[in-house]
Amino acid sequence: MKYEPVVDKYISYLTDEAGFIQGSAERIYFPTNISEIQEILKEAYDSNIRVTISGGGTGVSGGRVPLGGWIIATDKLVSVKGGSPWKDEESGIEYSVKLSRSDTTELTVPAAMTVKAIQNYARQYNLYYPPDPTERSCFIAGNVASNASGSRSFKYGVTRDWIQALSIVTPMGEPIKLIRTGNKIGDKIIIKTETKTYNIPFPDYYQPKTRKNVAGPNIDENSELIDLFIGSGGMFGVIAEITIRLIDKPADIINMFVYCNTIDIALELVSRCRYQRDNNIQPIPLSVEYVDDRAVRIIHEKDNSVPNAKALVIIEQEFKDEMDNFLEFYLSVFDELGIEDTSVAQTYKEIEYHKFLRHLIPETINALVKSYGQSKLGTDYAVPPEHYKTIVELGIQAGNKFENEFGFDNIGYAMWSHAGDAHIHLNFLPRNDVEMHRAKELMVELLREVVKLDGTIAAEHGLGKKTFLGKPALFYQIGERGLEKIREMKLVMDPKNLLNAGNLFPVQLD
Amino acid sequence: MKVVTLLKVTPDTETKFQINSAGTDIAEDSSIEYIIGPYDEYGVEAAIQIKEKLGGEVISVTIGSGNEEKSIRKAMAMGVDSGILINNADLKSSDPLSIAKAIKEVVEPLNADIIICGKLATDTSDSFIGPALAALMNIPVISEISSLEVTEEGVVATRDAAGRKERFESKFPVILTADKGLNEPRYPKLPMIMKAKKKPLDKKDTAGTEIRKNVTQVKAEFPATKSAGKKITGTPDELVSELVTGLTTKEKIL
Ligand SMILES: Cc1cc2nc3c(=O)[nH]c(=O)nc-3n(C[C@H](O)[C@H](O)[C@H](O)COP(=O)(O)OP(=O)(O)OC[C@H]3O[C@@H](n4cnc5c(N)ncnc54)[C@H](O)[C@@H]3O)c2cc1C
């Protein structure tokens, strides 16, 4: 099977978007179909060589960073077996995909199709793929591996909820297909391939009570077999083809920027929206996000029609015919809370522009950190919704402490959050190693609070090779025993621990 | 100040069109999102800014065929006070001169100080309506403006011409056609969206003018797709020889 040495032009494959860890590898493979993936994995297994899977490289936890061995770059997995060609005009990439319409509409897509391309496809056919991670150049398989979520998870749940089937190659190189059937696993995880039966120990570690969680394989008795492969960072196999569920395009969507004079007003607005969802009362927003004053400033610097508000709440709402009633609802809530300034995006282009502004926040933060020669340092914590206010306040305290200790002309932190899911991204902007160390301490302090509140330390980005103060990040949530359990699960399917080694629990480096 | 804005509703420029089964035009299916023509939207914004500065009212005028109300309501949420919509598919698909005449019929009695529209509609790209209306009404026109200053006395506007800026002055009444750069159209505030639903929209099915169709569109097709280029690599000598071979044998240019 053809491969290339990892020369300069492939250097980006040795890290990911967060850049906190730089890896190494000898070979890079670009398979184009399932049997090529099998061939590579079999050879690697026979030769005891580590293999790391690379998707779009937008991950922020070092998941795709290779620790020696070979890289399977999935970039050329653009066709599914028996698919029809479809060209994404935006990127110019030609994919092959399979659309099937019966009771439900399902689309089988190749690993390397980007979320943006899937959204473009759906739009063309008047369909809709609800998960909407902020970063849309990621590959769908990367999304499955990290069970990505986005702001619309508020209403529509996470990537997992939209995955109907997966074609996977196991760490030892056998193909399997998993389909969501409704059959729950109960207390046994048994995976059968053509030649083997894997009996995977059932996880008994702490499972947080949050709406989103990607800290380790997230399995309980209500899960199905397919769920083992979703959100487990590629530790159980290479995902090659994915069948997603699509729904009809909502008639209309609006995206509202709601400017609030105080943080309390913003938090109250968030909790009103959550009330709608939790009690299943219309209107239920698609998404509710909270953006702090520092993050607002980033947007304001790009577009000064966005005022420098104390807090910004971004609400998306879909409509069929009930637009008037829905808008009345928001208007009366805004009136009651004394909110006066709003900006409503109604057309596709306007909504895309709002999204662009929203996406500027993480992008600008990531670029700032890089310009200081540091790596991204942000929380991905979530808590049960009733503790949302507490976690926001603790986050602001930690951020202010950091800014006050070191003094900043520019911002020293920024916080934004998928507020409806009580999920905060508190990002520090350390300018040197001393500040970096302090910021990490503050993050660990906050992390302990999160666990006390029944929260998760990884709501959407996964933990990959992240460590905190010398220990794998997951340690803080599930302890040594929990880590050992995940190791046991992994070793059943990958006895030599070769595939995506180093994710979640550490490995000895050669 | 009375400002009339001509507002054509067009498919979003990002729309992926299909051609209709007769092969004569694009298919009007539900995947098309209709929006205020982007240049007309600069006109709408400019009209509202004039009203905000000098007082008065803004009236929108639209010739449509059924997909327009949502966009007109959006213009109202931005600040347009009232609208006139001539809903007539025959008129909308007639020739530009018939449309300009119909607009004249509607606009003239309004006695506007300023009539403003986009420099072109992104679907037909005629760049015709503004200047034609000026000719029919026998009033001045300043086309493709990218900046505008309005006082009680008149307007000062500039146009970006190749390599230079041109500056024009005119008294009222005047017709202006808006180019990119004139302003950044605002996004409505929520209360305005609610208010817009109650603003007067005068719907008629004819302007009472003659509809002629001197020109008929007979065919629509996608531009031929270019085949992918070929990347050549090698030493300078190899490059030259491969390039020459390609140009002579494959492209047959040399
Ligand atoms: C600015 C910015 C904003 C972001 N916003 C969000 C957000 O809103 N929500 C969110 O969830 N994430 C977000 N992320 C994180 C990231 O985009 C997601 O984690 C994404 O799912 C990663 O996909 P990728 O294709 O880039 O994967 P990569 O980074 O290449 O890999 C991620 C992990 O998936 C594994 N993997 C990749 N492909 C496969 C495969 N075919 N089979 C098995 N395993 C595989 C890799 O080995 C690695 O462990 C953001 C990132 C950035 C930079």
Look at residue B193 in the predicted model and tell me its pLDDT.
94
* Cβ–Cβ under 8 Å, residues B21 and B52: no
Structure letter (DSSP) for residue B149: E
Provide φ and ψ at A127, rounded to 5°. Answer: -115, 180
Name the percent of chain A in helix, strand, coil, to the closest 5. Answer: 35, 25, 40
> Which sign, positive or negative, has the C-alpha torsion B96, B101, B106, B107?
positive
Compute the distance between CA of residue A184 and CA of residue A454 in angstroms, rounded to an integer: 25
Nearest to B190 among A126, A256, A305 (CB): A256
Nearest to B187 among A328, A344, A348 (CB): A344
Question: Mutation test of ligand 1: which of A78, A135, A423 has the most ligand atoms closer than 8 Å to its C-beta?
Answer: A135
Nearest to A331 among B16, B74, B191 (CB): B191
Provide φ and ψ at B198, rounded to 5°. Answer: -105, 0
A133 Cβ closer than 6 Å to some ligand 1 atom = yes
From atom 11 of ligand 1, which residue's Cα is the shortest distance away?
A148
Q: Which residue has tokens 């389909």?
A: A179
A111 Cβ closer than 6 Å to some ligand 1 atom = yes
Compute the distance between CA of residue A39 and CA of residue A33 in angstroms, rounded to an integer: 10
A132 Cβ closer than 6 Å to some ligand 1 atom = no
Question: What distance in Å separates residue B38's CA from the closest CA in chain A?
Answer: 11
Inter-chain CB proximity A349 and B35 less than 8 Å: yes
DSSP A298-360: HHHHH-TTS---SEEEEEEEEESS-HHHHHHHHHHHHHHHT--EEEEE-SHHHHHHHHHHHHH
- By CB atoms closer than 10 A (0-12, 13-18, 19+), residue A1 is middle
Compute the distance between CA of residue A279 and CA of residue A285 in angstroms, rounded to an integer: 13
Q: Give the residue-averaged pLDDT of A241-262.
A: 94
Look at residue A347 in the predicted model and tell me its pLDDT.
93
Q: Tokens representing A41?
A: 């994995």
Residue A122: pLDDT above 70? yes
Q: Alpha helices of B80-228 — where are they, by DSSP H?
A: 89-92, 96-107, 129-137, 190-196
From atom 3 of ligand 1, which residue's Cα is the shortest distance away?
A135
Question: What distance in Å separates residue B191's CA from the closest CA in chain A?
Answer: 7
Question: What distance in Å separates residue B14's CA from the closest CA in chain A?
Answer: 8
Look at residue B71 in the predicted model and tell me its pLDDT.
96
- A214 CA closest ligand 1 atom index: 11
Look at residue B250 in the predicted model and tell me its pLDDT.
78
Residue A120: pLDDT above 80? yes
Beta bridge partners of A54: A73
Alpha carbon of A374 to ligand 1 centroid (Å): 20
- A52 CA closest ligand 1 atom index: 47
Q: Give the residue-averaged pLDDT of A93-113.
A: 96
Compute the distance between CA of residue B195 and CA of residue B189 in angstroms, rounded to an integer: 10
For residue A224, what are the CA distances in angstroms to A143, A159, A424?
A: 18, 15, 29
Compute the distance between CA of residue A471 and CA of residue A383 in angstroms, rounded to an integer: 22
Model confidence pLDDT, tens digit, residues A184-227:
999 899 999 999 999 999 999 988 889 899 988 988 889 999 99
The 3-state DSSP class for residue B164 equals: strand
Inter-chain CB proximity B14 and A349 less than 8 Å: yes
Nearest CA in chain A to B184: A305
Which ipTM did the prediction report? Answer: 0.79
Look at residue A510 in the predicted model and tell me its pLDDT.
57
Nearest CA in chain B to A315: B190
Please choose, from the candidates A50, A64, A51, the residue with its C-alpha nearest in 3D space to the C-alpha of residue A18. Answer: A64
Q: Give the residue-averaged pLDDT of A95-122.
A: 96
The 3-state DSSP class for residue B213 equals: coil
- Cα angle: A116, vertex A118, A119; to 5 degrees: 65
Query: What are the residue ranges in chain B where pLDDT is below 50?
Result: none
Compute the distance between CA of residue B101 and CA of residue A492 in angstroms, rounded to an integer: 79
Compute the distance between CA of residue A151 and CA of residue A148 in angstroms, rounded to an integer: 11
Nearest to B190 among A123, A342, A348 (CB): A342
Residue A375: pLDDT above 90? no
Look at residue B228 in the predicted model and tell me its pLDDT.
67
Residue A509: pLDDT above 70? no
* Cβ–Cβ under 8 Å, residues A96 and A79: yes
DSSP A266-289: HHHHHHHHHHHHHTT-SPPPSEEE
* Cβ–Cβ under 8 Å, residues B129 and B138: no
Chain A contact for B14 (CB, 8 A cutoff): yes
DSSP A164-193: EEEEEE-TTS-EEEEE--S---TT-EEEE-
Compute the distance between CA of residue A390 and CA of residue A396 in angstroms, rounded to an integer: 10
Nearest to A334 among B184, B188, B190 (CB): B190
Q: Which residue has tokens 């502004």?
A: A357
Compute the distance between CA of residue A426 and CA of residue B244 in angstroms, rounded to an integer: 59
Mean pLDDT over the full length of chain A: 94
Interface of A with B in 61-100 (CB under 8 A): 89
A23 Cβ closer than 6 Å to some ligand 1 atom = no
Chain A hits for B77, Cβ within 8 Å? 344
- By CB atoms closer than 10 A (0-12, 13-18, 19+), residue A509 is exposed
* Cβ–Cβ under 8 Å, residues B3 and B56: yes
Look at residue A133 in the predicted model and tell me its pLDDT.
87
* Cβ–Cβ under 8 Å, residues B34 and B228: no
Look at residue B142 in the predicted model and tell me its pLDDT.
98
The architecture that CATH gives domain B2-204 is 3-Layer(aba) Sandwich (3.40)
Q: Which residues of A248-282 are buried (b: 16+ CB within 10 A; e: fewer)?
A: ebeeebbbbbbbbeebebbbbbbbbbbebbeeeee
DSSP A205-231: S----SS---SS----TT--GGGGGSS
Q: Which residues of A377-390 are buried (b: 16+ CB within 10 A; e: fewer)?
A: bbbbbbbbbebbbe
Q: Tokens representing A207?
A: 């499972």
Look at residue A383 in the predicted model and tell me its pLDDT.
96
Interface of A with B in 242-301 (CB under 8 A): 256-257
Q: Which residue has tokens 């508000």?
A: A309
Chain B contact for A126 (CB, 8 A cutoff): yes
Residue A134: pLDDT above 90? no
Beta bridge partners of A292: A311
Question: What distance in Å separates residue B218's CA from the closest CA in chain A?
Answer: 26
Alpha carbon of A56 to ligand 1 centroid (Å): 7
What is the residue type of B30?
S
Compute the distance between CA of residue B43 and CA of residue B63 in angstroms, rounded to an integer: 16
Nearest to A331 among B35, B188, B194 (CB): B194
pTM to 2 decimal places: 0.82
Compute the distance between CA of residue A381 and CA of residue A469 in angstroms, rounded to an integer: 17
What percent of chain A has pLDDT above 70? 100
Model confidence pLDDT, tens digit, residues A266-304:
999 999 999 999 999 999 999 999 999 999 999 999 999
* Cβ–Cβ under 8 Å, residues B19 and B27: yes
CB pairs < 8 Å spanning A and B = 51
Rg (C-alpha) for chain B, rounded Å, is 23
Chain B contact for A434 (CB, 8 A cutoff): no
Interface with B, mutate which of A125, A248, A342 (most B CBs under 10 A)? A342
Question: What distance in Å separates residue B35's CA from the closest CA in chain A?
Answer: 7
* Cβ–Cβ under 8 Å, residues B127 and B120: yes
Look at residue B16 in the predicted model and tell me its pLDDT.
73
Interface with A, mutate which of B193, B194, B195, B227 (most A CBs under 10 A)? B193
Chain A contact for B222 (CB, 8 A cutoff): no
What is the residue type of B15?
T
What is the residue type of B92?
K
Compute the distance between CA of residue B123 and CA of residue B125 in angstroms, rounded to an integer: 6
Look at residue B153 in the predicted model and tell me its pLDDT.
95
Q: Tokens representing A45?
A: 């297994």
Name the percent of chain B in helix, strand, coil, to the closest 5. Answer: 30, 25, 45
Question: Of A439 and A207, which is predicted with more confidence?
Answer: A439
